[in-house]
Amino acid sequence: EAGVAQSPRYKIIEKRQSVAFWCNPISGHATLYWYQQILGQGPKLLIQFQNNGVVDDSQLPKDRFSAERLKGVDSTLKIQPAKLEDSAVYLCASSYSGRARETQYFGPGTRLLVL
Amino acid sequence: AQSVTQPDIHITVSEGASLELRCNYSYGATPYLFWYVQSPGQGLQLLLKYFSGDTLVQGIKGFEAEFKRSQSSFNLRKPSVHWSDAAEYFCAVGEESNYQLIWGAGTKLIIKP
């Protein structure tokens, strides 16, 4: 079975530019997560989708970050405009139904550097 | 407040030696406990998880973890490490009523030849 796909793997941008990340979850998984992982820290949940609806976006900086999951399958996370502190790895994960006991399957991540 | 603590930022172990990585949590309810591993340039992969029952849980790659409620701990162990175990290890905690996992800051494992 194919895993969680993410692109691009690496991105370097100047501050105040915009950037977008794409994620395709495991087929049949209803729940999709976007995490931000800053160097030396654990993942921080930015947004959780259940099918194409948002379950939790309480930690998403909505003045600059946006995310969508059209048709309940793949998802895009956008940052506009980027700040230096957005430099991090952005991880996408999916799970079958989003229950707390389920395994989350992670993609390889997108490493973002904001200069 | 709910929290997960991994006291060791990094640990160095000789190849073939035993390993124990510590995880302590603060949680009001009966927790669901997870250990994930992140190899360089890779996403996180589940090693093992605990919900209920036998407090000693076996995982992939020869890892095991023991849930100790009295100590609020879920330490990860391996009897003999291999160079390929060099990675960062994350402990995470969740509960049924709150789907969001709380993650520790991670422990980086360095293997000495």
pLDDT digit string (tens) for chain B, length 113 residues: 788 999 999 999 999 999 999 999 998 677 899 999 999 878 899 999 998 888 999 999 999 999 999 999 999 999 999 999 999 999 999 887 777 889 999 999 999 98
pLDDT at A1: 66
- Map tokens 């993650």 to a residue: B103
| Residue of A4, A21, A37, A110 to mutate, testing the B interface (most B Cβ within 10 Å of its Cβ) | A37
Contact A24, A70 (CB under 8 A): no
| Residue of A56, A101, A103, A105 to mutate, testing the B interface (most B Cβ within 10 Å of its Cβ) | A101
Q: Where are the alpha helices (DSSP H) in chain A?
A: none
Contact B35, B76 (CB under 8 A): yes
Strands B3-5 and B24-26: antiparallel
Strands A110-114 and A10-13: parallel
Q: Give B100 to chain A, closest Cα distance, Å.
A: 7
- The reply to whether residue A100 touches residue B45, judged by beta carbons under 8 angstroms, is no
3-state secondary structure labels for all residues of B7-38 = CCCEEEEECCCCEEECCEEECCCCCEEEEEEE
Question: How buried is residue A70: exposed, middle or buried, by Cβ count under 10 Å (0-12/13-18/19+)?
Answer: exposed
Chain A neighbors of B67, CB-CB under 8 A? none
- The reply to whether residue B101 touches residue A108, judged by beta carbons under 8 angstroms, is no
Contact B32, A100 (CB under 8 A): yes
In tens, the pLDDT along A12-61 reads 999 999 999 999 999 999 999 999 999 989 999 999 999 989 999 999 99
pLDDT at B96: 77
Q: Which of A43, A48, A56 sits opposite B103 (nearest CB)?
A: A43
Length of chain A: 115
Question: Binning pLDDT at 50, 70 and 90, where does residue A10 land?
Answer: very high
Sign of CA dihedral B19, B45, B59, B24: positive
Percent of chain A with pLDDT over 70: 99
